[in-house]
Amino acid sequence: MLRERKGQIIDKLARDLARSNIIISTNYQGLPAKQMAELRNALAKTGAEYHVVRNTLTRFAADKAGKPQVMSIIEGPTALAFGHNDAINLAKVLSQYIKSTESPLQIRGGLLGDRILTSEEVLGLASLPSKEVLISQLIGQLQAPISSLYNVLSFPLRGVLNVLHLRIQEFSE
């Protein structure tokens, strides 16, 4: 490779590494070109990118991007999935693709912010519910103590109200 071309690749990789919320490392060996294209298309729909990378060029790009810890998830032939938006969605798409196509693709690990994830943790991310579901569950959990407090405080008043209604019915009869 020409030195100039390598420099361009390092710059592009450094930009991708710097702006990614999550980076997932995979072993792509045994994945036919057709399936690689299908995977790239599926990931592109979620705003993610998938690139086969050279380890030495990635090392230079990681240093340039300020993410040297990415090298701990790179070993042997590697392809990286770069997630720029939703970290959970990228993990879900990769996991679903591997299951549905019975692909030889293997997740090696990930980098979420500055935290290194094992392959099991990446698959754990994939099993999480969507952001909207998590927010609604959180709101439900926050409302539960308030509604319980309301019930506890209003119970004596309801009791008094019931007694008054019964008295009114007795006098009207």
Residue 1's pLDDT band (boundaries 50, 70, 90)? low
Q: What is the pLDDT of residues 123-159, one digit of tens each?
A: 888 888 877 888 888 888 888 787 777 777 787 878 8
| 117: helix, strand or coil | strand
Q: What is the pLDDT of residues 43-101, one digit of tens each?
A: 888 888 888 888 888 889 888 888 888 888 888 888 898 888 777 888 888 888 888 88
pLDDT of residue 18 exceeding 60? yes
End-to-end CA distance of the chain: 101
pTM: 0.72
